[in-house]
Amino acid sequence: MKILAIISSPRRKNTYNAIKEIERIHKQHYDCEYEYLFLNKINLEGCRGCHICLTKGEEFCPLKDDHDVIVNKIESADGVILASPNHTMNVNWRMKNYIDRYSYLMHRPRYFHQRFLILITSGSYRGIKQASNALSLMASGGKVIGRIGIMNSPGMNDKKREKQSKKLEKEATKFANKMKKPFNYKPSFGHLVWFSAFKAVYKGEADESLADYRYYSKKKFFVDMKLSFGQKFTLKLFNGLFGFLIRIGMV
């Protein structure tokens, strides 16, 4: 089993140490392989906000860097840990750049076979939720099976430190146990509605949003798989409903 940890802190300190601890605990349960990907060591240039990935497609991004390397690593992993320190009540700038560079994944999801753990380290509890919510968008179709927010301010006493390390141990154990179980993608109701809505919206957007139009017009569902009668019915129903809402100008 392969776990990829994507870390946006430039330091090998709180966030890195938390992942090292997760790895140690995980390996107490069974054999698995951890790979660390540091965003400050990889060449991921700053998003220019040109919208080309959203409209034409990510393959037309003018930035030539390690964009695809990261995607390939995620797709060949079983589990992915997305980890950022809390900087001013959100993820730090490197992770925000990561989010923006892969923003198109919110339109055209792809990590359906991966499970994700979101890790935020922070001085206090404030901002952990915002950072965690921002980062979980990057699971992009994958299943978020855990969220950990760990505090480690310099003024913390031993009792509080102990509490945080117990919390980390508990969450890391949960993550290990969930990862241990075999994982086969099952379409959730949310995914069925998401797909129906986007397919209906981008049906008439071949000029404005070619990439989304192509993605949705080619597919019957996000994942090429056998769907049950109920799932097909849900897709049809919501596709019709969103189509109708678009025609009457409500969407």
Q: By the criterion CB under 6 A, which residues form the site for ligand FMN? A: 9, 11, 13-16, 85-89, 121-124, 126-127, 152
Q: Which is nearer to ligand FMN, 89 or 206 (CB)?
A: 89
Q: Which is nearer to ligand FMN, 166 or 186 (CB)?
A: 166
Instruction: Report how far residue 221's alpha carbon sits from residue 191's, in angstroms, rounded to the nearest whole number.
Output: 9
User: Shortest Cβ distance from residue 21 to ligand FMN (Å)?
Assistant: 13
Backbone angles phi, psi at 109, to 5 degrees: -65, 160
User: Shortest Cβ distance from residue 186 to ligand FMN (Å)?
Assistant: 35
Residue pair 15/121 in contact (Cβ under 8 Å)? The answer is yes
Nearest to 102 by CA among 169, 173, 45, 146: 45
Q: Which is nearer to ligand FMN, 105 or 150 (CB)?
A: 150
Instruction: Report how far residue 248's alpha carbon sits from residue 35's, in angstroms, rounded to the nearest whole number.
Output: 50
Instruction: Report how far residue 180's alpha carbon sits from residue 67's, in angstroms, rounded to the nearest whole number.
Output: 29
Percent helix, strand and coil across the chain, each to the nearest 5:
50, 15, 35
Neighbours of 110 (CB within 10 A): 18
User: Shortest Cβ distance from residue 131 to ligand FMN (Å)?
Assistant: 9
User: Shortest Cβ distance from residue 121 to ligand FMN (Å)?
Assistant: 3
Residue 46 CB contacts under 8 Å (≥ 6 apart), including other chains: 97
User: Shortest Cβ distance from residue 154 to ligand FMN (Å)?
Assistant: 8
User: Shortest Cβ distance from residue 196 to ligand FMN (Å)?
Assistant: 38
Q: Which is nearer to ligand FMN, 87 or 199 (CB)?
A: 87
- 49 Rama sector, left if φ>0, alpha if ψ -120 to 50, beta otherwise: left
Neighbours of 230 (CB within 10 A): 9
Q: Which is nearer to ligand FMN, 15 or 209 (CB)?
A: 15
Backbone angles phi, psi at 243, to 5 degrees: -60, -45
User: Shortest Cβ distance from residue 47 to ligand FMN (Å)?
Assistant: 20
Instruction: Report how far residue 179's alpha carbon sits from residue 139's, in angstroms, rounded to the nearest whole number.
Output: 15
Q: Which is nearer to ligand FMN, 164 or 231 (CB)?
A: 164
Q: Which is nearer to ligand FMN, 89 or 237 (CB)?
A: 89
